[in-house]
Structure 1
Amino acid sequence: MRIKVRYFARFRSIVGTGEEELEAPNGITVRELIELLKERHPVLRTEVFAEDDDLADVNVSRNGRYVGFDDVLQDGDVVALFPPVSGG
């Protein structure tokens, strides 16, 4: 299945693109997609996900809505990755 991944803020500069499409296995979860992206872009391992299961530094939306890491993706989904928002 095809999934479009959009990168925002520091993720865009780390990966070097704002958007890409990729082929993913049917039934892939958000967590598994992130693992796939870390394989595709090893810089994510060192710059964002230094710990084995460090997902605290990423927010994920699917088709414009926040989702959990165990949500199952569907063909044609648009997944966006962006850092947590803080304000003051």
Structure 2
Amino acid sequence: MTEIILASASPRRLALLKQIGVVPDGVEPADIDETVLPRETPARYVLRMARQKAEKVACAKGGDAFVLAADTAVACGSRVLPKAET
């Protein structure tokens, strides 16, 4: 069976998956540059971030794992606001 990997450190994303009966085989956060590009819309930004996270984890895993990645952002109009420091 294909391995499912969650490319996120978010406890909330893991909890959401478990609520729908999906328990990933692994949780592997991706360390990527999350800088917003000039004139990048919020929608394009989160799509690019999710794609980069998935690609980084998939390349590290190799093989046939299914990698699930997502990203969220807070925006004001067309401007992505900085993420809070945690």
Q: Normalising to structure 1: TM-score of the pair?
A: 0.35
Task: Answer with 1 or 2: which has the greater Rg.
Answer: 2
Q: Normalising to structure 2: TM-score of the pair?
A: 0.35
Of structures 1 and 2, the one scoring higher in RCO (CA 8 A, sep 6+) is: 1
Q: Whose helix proportion is higher, 1 or 2?
A: 2
